[in-house]
Amino acid sequence: MLDVKQYFNLRNELVKSSQGNAYAEKYHFLQKHWKYALRDACANINAMLSNLANQIRKAVQANELVDEDEQHLIYYLLSMRELWYYALTADQAVLAQLKPAYRKHLSELEQSVTAKQRKHAYSYLRRLTRRYKYVPRKHTNLNRSMAYDENMYRFQGEELKQVAISSGVSRQQFAFSLTSPWHYRLKGDLQIILDRDKKRIEIHKVIQARQKKKYQGKQKLGIDKGLATLVSCSSGQEYGKGLSQLTGPQIEKESRYLAQRNPYYGRRYQLKKQIEKLNHVQTRTAIIKRNQLSVELKQIESNNLGHKRKDRRHEALRACRESFINHAIKEMIEHEAPSLIVKEDLTFTKDKATKKGNKYERKARRNLSSWTKGTLNTRLEYYCQQYSIDLKDVNPAYTSQYCPNCGRHFEFRFGKHNEKTICPNCGEMNCNIAASRNILARANDKEIALYTPYDKVKAILDQRIVS
């Protein structure tokens, strides 16, 4: 109880006694890792003890047999970790280390009750502590997690799509790619979680989302992410219209910009190759030639292939699209008042390659699509927390290919953005809205679970048509 109160003392003691070295050797990890683990453990135990104290206070308050003076005594014993420890163990040495003022106050409180009450107060506190004490137990879920502070990780790469975390080996980092870029602050603690059910590593970060108290959800809502409009809802409404008008010109602009840069990449490649060749020749002309080429290379790299302007443009576009997404989600929540939002699990669905446009345009479109997906996902999570709306992921397989009314397979798609389709029974309908209705239905589907494989889903759906 007293050791965990000051994490630093405990840590320093372990360092001094070189017990820390033993841990580092035995479990083959760095010193800092057991220190982090120790800090985590101490924080957890401290939180546990203060919860326990609150619980005991409530129990004491509810007990009518304890009068006000005895209550004061117990509260005072609970107010300091040392006093509580003394009440449990009757260890006079701990009491002796306290400031005289504290000891004096304790004896004053003890004087204010009868001897019988005093005895009862101590034994009652011991009993309550034993009764409500937390029992350490094994976690039933298989998740494994670890806290990483800001010195232990780094986001890197284009759009911060990679994270490098420090590993058990000194000075060696382990980098992996994220399924969507990181939009949050680059500081503060991260929680890195190995989710065994989903077979992936998740990065969690505490972000502050103030809850809206007044909000009252009314209905369950299925949503589907579209290309032309951001989200289509099972209610038949769509939000974030004009996504293609917003992003279309941007994609073209971006692709023109990238195409402009392309010749310079070629030239840079040539220059580097030529310089490499001349590096081994030591004649006067070769040295002069090499210097000339180096100057040209430097110019290209700083004037034509510089990243500052590129990054700035990129950032401006990103902010614009993000505000569009935020606005669309808020509008959706206000109009639909959902109590539960059901969506596809977007983490692993691949972006379909489109054949439209040149290779830069295709690349830009693909990037944008995955970016939109990631942002939509994180912003939805954020707003759902803020409005206390439940969010549920369902299996994304074949949601937009079967009719939500009769279960028949759709025939073909048409329309400006490929958003219309025909059911052989029910006629023309918007397939994004149909998909969102299928998604909503899937929330209660007993047969199709979140990770039912694609071909099995298809078999189940085909079987339903017959029956």
- Which positions lie near Zn ion, rule CB under 5 A? 403, 405-406, 408, 423, 425-426
- Nearest distance from residue 421's CB to Zn ion, in Å? 10
- Nearest distance from residue 410's CB to Zn ion, in Å? 8
**Residue 120 or 420 having the CB closest to Zn ion:** 420
**Residue 311 or 411 having the CB closest to Zn ion:** 411
- Nearest distance from residue 258's CB to Zn ion, in Å? 43
Q: In the complex, which residue's CB is closest to Zn ion? A: 403
- Nearest distance from residue 228's CB to Zn ion, in Å? 23
Q: Say how far apart CA 165 and CA 186 lie, in whole Å.
A: 13
**Residue 266 or 427 having the CB closest to Zn ion:** 427
Q: Say how far apart CA 391 and CA 218 lie, in whole Å.
A: 14
**Residue 282: HSE in the Cβ half-sphere, 13 Å Cα cutoff:** 0
**Residue 333 or 431 having the CB closest to Zn ion:** 431
**Residue 294 or 401 having the CB closest to Zn ion:** 401
CA angle 147, 150, 151 (to 5 degrees): 105
- Nearest distance from residue 402's CB to Zn ion, in Å? 8
- Nearest distance from residue 341's CB to Zn ion, in Å? 25
Q: In this structure, what are the phi and psi dihedrals at residue 163, rounded to the nearest 5 degrees?
A: -125, 135
- Nearest distance from residue 409's CB to Zn ion, in Å? 9
- Nearest distance from residue 417's CB to Zn ion, in Å? 21
**Residue 74 or 434 having the CB closest to Zn ion:** 434
- Nearest distance from residue 338's CB to Zn ion, in Å? 25
**Residue 162 or 401 having the CB closest to Zn ion:** 401
Q: Residue holding tokens 């109160």?
A: 5
Put residue 19 in one of left, alpha, beta given phi > 0 → left and psi -120 to 50 → alpha.
alpha
**Residue 423 or 433 having the CB closest to Zn ion:** 423
Q: Say how far apart CA 168 and CA 148 lie, in whole Å.
A: 13
Q: What does the block give as tokens for 443?
A: 């929330």
C-alpha distances (whole Å) from 144 to each of 167, 172, 174, 301 are: 16, 22, 17, 45
Q: What does the block give as tokens for 265?
A: 């990449």
**Residue 95 or 429 having the CB closest to Zn ion:** 429
